[in-house]
Amino acid sequence: MLNWLRKPVAVHQRVLDYENGHSIDKQCLASKASYLVLDFETTGLDAKKHHIVSAGWVKISDCRIQLNSAVYQLVKSPTSVGQSAVIHGLHNNQVQQGIELEELLSLLLQELKGAILVSHHSALELNFLKHSCQNSFGRAPAFKAVDTLKLELYKMQLKGGPVAQNSLSLPACLARYHLPEVTEHHALSDAFGCAQLLLAQLKTRGASCTLAELFQQSR
């Protein structure tokens, strides 16, 4: 059927509530902001054809990781996890015990109110968030994220010289700041490692660093 004959999808109330209740003061000091550090594990890298199979997040406020805010969720996938199981270690029988994608998105939109989204290589999380919200709710909010990978790249470029291959991976960044190793490709473990990395990065940027600067350096 022609596109113009299709009925528009009604925007879900969750999206409207998020948009009405979420605002960012970019001049806020980065040390005073609240953050939600998010990681997805997926069946592939293309948000248009692959699926989220797990999500982990933890919040930061007052420059401290709030351990009681940690969340780990398995997410049902409409297709087999296929070869991606080799990466994240999740198999079909585990994933099918998870929650529905729409429930995950509703939880995230609620948790993100008043918090700045943070991820390591945030393009993946942003792409999956936007595509999933568009499909589930009829519209994707204009998500913005602080990217700890881009923050590290910015710092390394200021020093000059080549950036070594794989030097921007989460384990490599954690090692550079003498932070503990994490279990790679476990959503909550990676989110926790990313949160530790962000706090270490903020310390190197000084007390006057603003959210505007973090967003600029995350581009």
In the predicted model, is pLDDT for residue 5 greater than 70? no
Write down the pTM of the prediction: 0.93
Check residue 22 and give its pLDDT: 86
pLDDT 10s digits, 105-134? 999 999 999 999 999 999 999 999 999 999
Check residue 2 and give its pLDDT: 44
Check residue 9 and give its pLDDT: 56
| Residues of the domain holding 192 | 29-217
In the predicted model, is pLDDT for residue 52 greater than 90? yes
- Using the Cα atoms of residue 139, residue 56, residue 180 and residue 162 in order, give the sign of their dihedral: negative
pLDDT 10s digits, 157-181? 998 878 998 999 999 999 999 999 9
Q: Which residues pair with 99 in a beta bridge?
A: 75
In the predicted model, is pLDDT for residue 10 greater than 90? no
Q: Which of 51, 66, 146 is nearest to 104 (CA)?
A: 51
Residue 13 counted as domain residue: no
Burial class (CB in 10 A: 0-12, 13-18, 19+), 13: exposed
Q: Which residues pair with 63 in a beta bridge?
A: none
Work out the mean pLDDT of the chain and round it to a whole number: 93
Q: What's the farthest any 2 CA atoms get from each other in the chain?
A: 58
Would you report the helix, strand and coil content of the chain in percent, each value rounded to 5? 45, 20, 35
Check residue 4 and give its pLDDT: 43
Residue 109 counted as domain residue: yes
In the predicted model, is pLDDT for residue 7 greater than 70? no
Across the range 204-210, mean pLDDT stands at 94
Confidence of residue 55 (pLDDT cuts 50, 70, 90): very high
Number of domains in the chain: 1
Q: Which of 187, 201, 58, 197 is nearest to 128 (CA)?
A: 187
Residue 55 counted as domain residue: yes
Confidence of residue 44 (pLDDT cuts 50, 70, 90): very high
| Range from 10-24, 51-65, 84-98, 190-204 carrying the lowest mean pLDDT | 10-24
Residue 3 counted as domain residue: no
Residue 173 counted as domain residue: yes
Residue 191 counted as domain residue: yes
Residue 75 counted as domain residue: yes
Check residue 12 and give its pLDDT: 86
Domain harbouring 102, CATH code: 3.30.420.10
Residue 98 counted as domain residue: yes
In the predicted model, is pLDDT for residue 8 greater than 70? no
